[in-house]
Structure 1
Amino acid sequence: MSRIIYNLSGSPLSRSFLKTARSLECYFAVLFIYFEVMFHMLITGKYGENLFLKMAFGVFFGFVIGTAVSTIGKLTGKITGLAITVLITVFYCAHIVYYGVFATHLSVTGSIGFTNQAMDFTDVILKEIKHDWWKLLLFIIPVLVYIFVIWKHSEFKRHRALGYVVNLGSAAVFYIAIIFVLRISSNDIYSPYKLIQNYQSVDMSVRKLGVVETLFVEFTHHNKNGEVSFENELTSLSSGNGQDVETVISTEDKTEKATTEIVENDNKNSSTEEVTTEALVKEKVVDRSPNVLDIDFDKLIAEEKDENIKAIHNYVKNVTPTNKNEYTGMFEGYNLIFVVAEGFDGYLIDQQRTPTLYQMAHSGFYFKNFYTPLWYGSTIGGEFANLTGLMPNNGGYLSMNKCGENGNDMLFTPAQQLLKKGYAVRGYHDNDYTYYDRNISHPNMGYTWKGVGNGLEAEKYEDGTELWPQSDVKLINDTFDEYSGREPFHTYYLTVSGHVMYNFGGNAMADKHRDIVENLQYSDETKAYIACQYELELAMKTLVQKLENEGIADNTLIVLVADHVPYDNKNVVDELAGSTLGDTFEWYKNTLIIWSASMKEQVVVNKYCSSLDILPTVSNLMGLPYDSRMIVGQDILSDSPALVMFNDRSFITDSVMYDANTGEVMKITVAEVSDDYVESIKQVVSNKFNLAQSIVDYNYYAVIDQAVYGNSVNELDDSDNMPLKKKDKSAEDDSKVSNYKDAGDESAKSADKTDTDKSAKSTDKTGGDEAVKSDDNTGSDESTKSVDEDSENESANSADNKNSDAVIKSSDKDLDEIYKKLNGTTNNDKKDNNNFGKMLNSNKEEDWFKKITKTDDDVDNSLEKIIEKRKNGGN
């Protein structure tokens, strides 16, 4: 046998084969095949799923890299080859660890610029390395093979010039052949060919193309806005199963008015049922017109020169809008506190352990099928979805940061909508205010942004080191007085107490509340999770108590939602849920809190919904004008069919749950579901993802803002916190600090304490509840209107006191004369004075007003500028 092998090895053919096998081209091709196969098997655990395609791309890139290394020379080539092998190994290991932590694949271009913040996850990364050490060892093996085998036996020789031409030409032909086969083999909207042509998702790309091809596609599309295109939708989203809303009237109300229970087309296909008595008040007339803005799309399309913007116009024009409903304007004129809670999971809510969260979740709107998809970028991605109703880009860039850096018009964020209504708008975070460049992105959304480093002080141990994570209770206590006396207000809180890691050694909040969970029958990690989230419970308890003490709880709407599920702690969620959830949709099931102390009835909503739906739902509840056609999420309380979308293009409708990873379709209705229906929803979902990305890429809201309001919000003055162009970072930071050091805040406190608080308390007690009852039961707008007028008067009076003392430094008589001069009326005219008061009540306008008002001679000119901006639709 040995002689036969010896003779064969001496033949020209075998010598050529052995020479090729020992070449660097062959080595790197085999290396990539090995890495792609290992990565695929470790992530998916099965063959198939485009495995051979991934191997083919590995051969191509390995051949090209091997050819390049062979041009260097023997010794230098050996060293370079080793360095590249180590680099590729680190690259794949980083993918394994990243996926293990965040349950999503690594986007290299999306992570550039934020690598320094990886140090904040050192403990989490080390934990994952310890957990997946054997996986990482599999990727380190090739380095050892290179050192002990390739270094000694491979050919490190330069080729002739013709050899390089043949090598690279063959590689190019091979790659083109792959693309050609992919193009003719599938027309699926998520086919490998379409992913290469129009990069959409790092998760989908890695799953279908492999790691190395995804990297190549990422860089070829980096900083390029793709051509806008939408799939032809085969059918309407509706499947015949409509909204499922159940109204549950509280016990005390049943003695005075009729008990009504309404179930509309639930997922068990039960019939609509309505039970009434003679005591039931006549049903009010409900405005069910579409929630849209007055936009002439035909005119916009005719005048638009950019084909991409025109494509968006054509798509949005034909989207079916959601309709107004019985809940429209339920909280009109209310203050809004929007809380995004770090790592919050609804499974932890318990009536005994977290009574405040339990009450808020069960006595307001109770969403039984709410989901928090895990978006790219974890917290920053979750924030973007919560505040914009758009899904963030899945790799390539972070949508929130791109909008901030480019100064995109963020027309429909709660901040921008409420600024138009004269609200005082602020945002707070009990961590570094520059983290993920929020000092750029959040002012761009309309918030006067404040965190640790520009106004908030971090809590420290005796030795001077900062607690990690920081206290959410301290966040509420440090900030409440800054906005509570400035009604109407909108405050955004991004909490941090629930941050990983969950242990009793390095988590300050878990240590703080260890005694609360000591005797629970859970693992230490789950106990630590509950303990640190207990700080959120206390924060909400503190917030509600402060609102009640100020007499404004009944006139304040609180929204609380997670940024993401505990992505690195599935075992914790399993323990809290009482079952193994695995990778099912139930792992993303969560709690959405929309609650006000004025609510006397619980509203149970069975409709499937997600974090994308929060913005339009809150906008509708507050009676804010918005266009439902150009927001991906939808008003949960409308009659629109349900649609929950996940990062990997999986979805849930009224009829099915579709898993894009496996292709599995699970029916959740007794009605028949056709294959065409699933395919049509896939197209609907694809279009919605394309719309969200196109809105960001092409700053589409700026076009709409110009068409509706006559100007872009971001064209306003720099001090309005809404930049159109990317501003100097240091200058912006300084301006944010100064916003909290001016005299306006101090005067607001004193003025509010003497006037606004007293009138707010009396108004809330006498009019707030009556307005809600009237709106809900009789359809009358009279009580709501009177409350709005009273609250507007309060804002005006507060604004007059504040600005006369601290801003203009003029007497009330002088202010009245100035206003009379500009408007032909007096300060006693309620209608005009309300608008004027709201205008001056906005903190950002106060700061701007102070900057441009230098002397008494400038007052007339300054007020003219403010009022002119209002007339033009500015903020």
Structure 2
Amino acid sequence: MQTKDSLRRVMKYACILYFPILLLYLELVFHLYMRLRMAYFPIIACFAVSLGMLVSALVNCFSKRTRHILTSVFSLFLAVLFCVEMICRRILQQYFQLFSALDTAAGNRLGDYRNAVVKALEQNWIGLLLMLVVPGMMCAIQVFRIDTFGIKIKTDTKKRWPLQKRLLFLYRFTAVPMIGCVVFYLLTLAMVYLYPWEGDFTPEKLYAMDTNTDDQVEQLGLLTMLRLDCKHMIFGSNSNMDISLEQLADAENEKAVQDEEIAEEVAEPEIDTSPNVLELDLQKWIDEAPNEDVKWLSEYIQTVTPTRKNEYTGMFENYNVIFITAEGFSGYLIDETLTPTLYRLTHEGFVFNRFYSALHFTSTSGGEFQNLTGLYPKNGFPVSMKETGEQGISLPFTLANILQPLDYTCIGFHFNENMYVRALSHPNLGYDWRQCSECLNLLTKEINQEGDAYWPQSDDYMVEQSLQEYLTKEPFHIYYLTLSGHLPYGFESNQMSKRNQEAVASLPYSEKTKSYIAANLELEKGLTRLVNALEEAGIADRTLIVMAPDHIPYSDIDVIEELAGRSFGKDSLESLNEKSVDFDVYKNSLIMWTAGMEESVTVNKPCCQVDILPTVLNLLGLDYDSRLLAGRDILSDSEPLVVFFSSSWLTDKGSYNRFTGTFTPALGVSMTDEEIQAYTERIKAIAACRLQMTSIIIENDYYRLVTGL
């Protein structure tokens, strides 16, 4: 009897304690299952309890029957929310800011990922079950009126409480949890702002940001990340740049003087080594800036050392240019026998031995954005490429926007639907854009005997259908966004893989890896068709082919490991975790090839996707301002820098692990502790600035301001 009375007293206050306990449980299970650091869990726990108290207070404002319904609905909603984020992280290697991402998700064909979703559900059923078990039990109790420990739950009553009793109930079960909500919230803020957290990204810094969702989830909690997303969507956010530009300017000036002295010693008199800059009045936009972001960016650009023209400047002046973004491509699949054209293009022309295609936000769209704009995408919503199209943002340095006024035929092709609203973004990049969708129904998909369109579409078919659009319209600049290499990889789920199944049947790999190679054989066929057509037309020696991936097959790291014959980290098979992954997983192939080159040029300098645009602009001898891009001309004497999604980075001097705060010198590089400290702080600042500049450029249409273009 005494036990039953105790349970009755507990159940009496369950309407206050249930949601705090539920949210605490969900955050705890989520963190443990996703293997996130638990050092920040006191913050997450207090935020969860505070939010749980708030939900309890709101639910308790209603009648008993309504309270039970709302409890069931909220419980399931919260559990499903955690499950959705878990699957998003497993498939896309990033959490989704669901509120700001709703329009993007609604506009994309999520059905293209259905096989990957099913696979993720199967692989993560334990985590999903743990998320759903408590809310499921609560719903069962509400629906079936389960008699828990002999305490019958009643959901309705004909009696109306007297006013005094109702006020007492509201005080106990609404006012008290509201007070608890405030107390725990203030306690959490004290931990966020007063505790001396260490690292490049602290809870205090993350609490003011609308980016870096991975860090926000780990340090502040999933629910807090989503709450901040809602807040920033309504009220906006600040850039939150706390970098000392004066110190950065001093360091850059010192390095510029050293580079100038070296250039004077080694430069040949006939080579123009003037800087790649435009005449811009940046001081005007410091003195008359409409906001602090524009002022900061103008001040930062003034500190940037521009790249210089070099022996390769104008090497391909007036050439045709074909640029290819290859879907889900990894250079580890290239084989001299199986993919002879890919092998030829990567071993002739310019050979980049240390090119990295790091995964950045929104995978394909983020990879495209780097390739075509020379900028890193914003690490959060709104999607950078999509935003430039919807807002009509000026992007004067894209290849198409520069070449079109020079009477180039500029056409872009993608045999898919209007993903990421490319019907707006790619015309804004300067292309006569062709895709398969209602808004731009200019391309016809390849179909099977039953009349159904293949998924994915064939890259070879894309080249075949488009060649006659431009071969006789020199000079031309053509852009291809391929599709055959899109996940999932399986002979039943990927029709391009099935098409080439026999060609890979004897390879010594797993079925998934063979399927991945088979899908990319359509790209090999398309490149072969393209090169043959250029040679038959007699223009291969005046056409530059550039090809770079959008991203590696990030959900299938085991495929890359099998192709490379090595492991990239203990957690790499489960997720692309940059805390422990070897960055060689991002090592890839960059093609810059023309038949007119008599001998290849080997480049051992570290480089990445944002470096492609300035390199090509310089090769074509086009005018641009190198200070306004995040990338640098690979063939110049500029200091190399590859920035990864986590803000870790790599240079020719070594690599920096943001999570441990340690710099590892490259083989053969000798630096004192003082030199390492100074170097690390300078490159960290530069990396942060280059990552941040994109959102300021887009939100303020900055290029239009300073260039008038």
Task: Give your verdict on TM over 0.5.
Answer: yes
Aligned to 1:31: 22
Aligned to 1:699: 701
- The aligned length equals 663
Q: Which amino acid aligns with 2:215?
A: M
Structure 1 Cα separation of the partners of residues 461 and 130 of structure 2: 46
Distance 1:185 1:175, change over 3 A: same
Aligned to 1:335: 320
- Say if 2:427 is the partner of 1:443: yes
Aligned to 2:73: 83
Quick check: 483-492 or 189-198, which moved more? 189-198
1:678 to 677, 680, 686: 680
Structure 2 Cα separation of the partners of residues 46 and 186 of structure 1: 17
Q: Which residues in structure 2 correspond to 1:324-403 (within 5 Å)?
A: 324-403=309-388
1:460 to 436, 441, 447: 447
- Say if 2:508 is the partner of 1:510: no
- Say if 2:181 is the partner of 1:171: yes
Distance 1:534 1:28, change over 3 A: same
Q: Which amino acid aligns with 1:388?
A: T
Structure 1 Cα separation of the partners of residues 630 and 640 of structure 2: 12
Structure 1 Cα separation of the partners of residues 602 and 218 of structure 2: 38
Structure 2 Cα separation of the partners of residues 288 and 229 of structure 1: 36
1:479 to 466, 471, 476: 466
Aligned to 1:208: 219
- Say if 2:51 is the partner of 1:61: yes
- Say if 2:31 is the partner of 1:40: yes
Quick check: 228-237 or 204-213, which moved more? 228-237
1:71 to 61, 67, 81: 61
1:144 to 130, 136, 143: 136
Q: Which residues in structure 2 correspond to 1:567-578 (within 5 Å)?
A: 567-578=554-565
Tell me the TM-score normalised to structure 2 length. 0.88
Q: Which amino acid aligns with 1:467?
A: Y
1:711-738 C-alpha deviation (Å, 9 max, x unpaired): x4xxxxxxxxxxxxxxxxxxxxxxxxxx
Asked if structure 1 preserves the Cα contact closer than 8 Å seen for 2:57 and 2:175, the reply is no
Q: Which amino acid aligns with 1:87?
A: F
1:298 to 283, 286, 292: 283
Asked if structure 1 preserves the Cα contact closer than 8 Å seen for 2:326 and 2:481, the reply is yes
Q: Which amino acid aligns with 1:634?
A: R
Deviation, structure 1 residue 204 = 2.2
1:520-556 C-alpha deviation (Å, 9 max, x unpaired): 0101111111011011011001101111111111111
Aligned to 2:520: 533
Tell me the TM-score normalised to structure 1 length. 0.72
1:657-680 C-alpha deviation (Å, 9 max, x unpaired): 223345454332432253453344
1:324-352 C-alpha deviation (Å, 9 max, x unpaired): 22211111111110000111110000111
- Say if 2:171 is the partner of 1:184: no
Asked if structure 2 preserves the Cα contact closer than 8 Å seen for 1:242 and 1:654, the reply is no
Q: Which amino acid aligns with 2:35?
A: T
Distance 1:46 1:294, change over 3 A: closer
Asked if structure 2 preserves the Cα contact closer than 8 Å seen for 1:239 and 1:654, the reply is no
Asked if structure 2 preserves the Cα contact closer than 8 Å seen for 1:242 and 1:641, the reply is no
Aligned to 2:158: none
- Say if 2:408 is the partner of 1:423: yes
Distance 1:303 1:394, change over 3 A: closer
Q: CA RMSD in A?
A: 2.9
Distance 1:206 1:535, change over 3 A: same
Deviation, structure 1 residue 161 = 4.4
Q: Which amino acid aligns with 1:622?
A: L
Asked if structure 2 preserves the Cα contact closer than 8 Å seen for 1:225 and 1:697, the reply is no
**CA radius of gyration, larger in:** 1
Deviation, structure 1 residue 43 = 1.9
Aligned to 2:85: 95
Quick check: 445-454 or 173-182, which moved more? 173-182
SS in 1 for 2:415: strand
SS in 1 for 2:414: strand
Distance 1:517 1:180, change over 3 A: same
Q: Which residues in structure 2 correspond to 1:482-501 (within 5 Å)?
A: 482-501=469-488
Structure 2 Cα separation of the partners of residues 283 and 576 of structure 1: 43
Aligned to 2:161: none
2:233 to 209, 222, 227: 222
1:23-49 C-alpha deviation (Å, 9 max, x unpaired): 23321111111111221122225532x
Aligned to 1:758: none
1:88-146 C-alpha deviation (Å, 9 max, x unpaired): 11111111111111112222134312334212211110011111111211111112332
Quick check: 336-345 or 612-621, which moved more? 612-621
Quick check: 523-532 or 317-326, which moved more? 317-326
Asked if structure 2 preserves the Cα contact closer than 8 Å seen for 1:422 and 1:488, the reply is yes
Q: Which amino acid aligns with 2:536?
A: N
Asked if structure 2 preserves the Cα contact closer than 8 Å seen for 1:201 and 1:394, the reply is yes
Structure 2 Cα separation of the partners of residues 352 and 170 of structure 1: 68
Asked if structure 2 preserves the Cα contact closer than 8 Å seen for 1:228 and 1:312, the reply is no
Asked if structure 1 preserves the Cα contact closer than 8 Å seen for 2:49 and 2:184, the reply is no
Distance 1:161 1:30, change over 3 A: closer
Distance 1:42 1:242, change over 3 A: farther
Asked if structure 1 preserves the Cα contact closer than 8 Å seen for 2:209 and 2:240, the reply is no
SS in 2 for 1:431: coil
Structure 1: tracts of 5 or more residues without a match? 244-263, 265-273, 275-281, 707-711, 713-875
- Say if 2:403 is the partner of 1:404: no
Distance 1:449 1:206, change over 3 A: same
Q: Which amino acid aligns with 1:199?
A: D
Aligned to 2:666: 668
Structure 1 Cα separation of the partners of residues 126 and 507 of structure 2: 33
Structure 2 Cα separation of the partners of residues 242 and 438 of structure 1: 43
SS in 2 for 1:383: helix
Identity, in percent, stands at 36
Asked if structure 2 preserves the Cα contact closer than 8 Å seen for 1:24 and 1:155, the reply is no
1:624-671 C-alpha deviation (Å, 9 max, x unpaired): 111111111111122122211112212112233223345454332432
Distance 1:577 1:148, change over 3 A: same
SS in 2 for 1:543: helix
SS in 2 for 1:337: strand
Asked if structure 1 preserves the Cα contact closer than 8 Å seen for 2:208 and 2:237, the reply is no
Distance 1:305 1:199, change over 3 A: closer
Structure 2 Cα separation of the partners of residues 415 and 444 of structure 1: 9
Distance 1:354 1:86, change over 3 A: same
Q: Which amino acid aligns with 1:70?
A: N
Structure 1 Cα separation of the partners of residues 137 and 615 of structure 2: 58
Structure 2 Cα separation of the partners of residues 611 and 537 of structure 1: 21
Aligned to 1:197: 208
Q: Which amino acid aligns with 1:561?
A: A
Structure 1 Cα separation of the partners of residues 434 and 238 of structure 2: 37
Distance 1:607 1:239, change over 3 A: farther
Structure 2 Cα separation of the partners of residues 69 and 479 of structure 1: 59
Quick check: 173-182 or 553-562, which moved more? 173-182
Q: Which amino acid aligns with 1:340?
A: T
Structure 2: tracts of 5 or more residues without a match? 156-164, 573-580
Asked if structure 1 preserves the Cα contact closer than 8 Å seen for 2:410 and 2:477, the reply is yes
Structure 1 Cα separation of the partners of residues 98 and 539 of structure 2: 47
Q: Which amino acid aligns with 2:395?
A: M
Structure 2 Cα separation of the partners of residues 394 and 464 of structure 1: 40
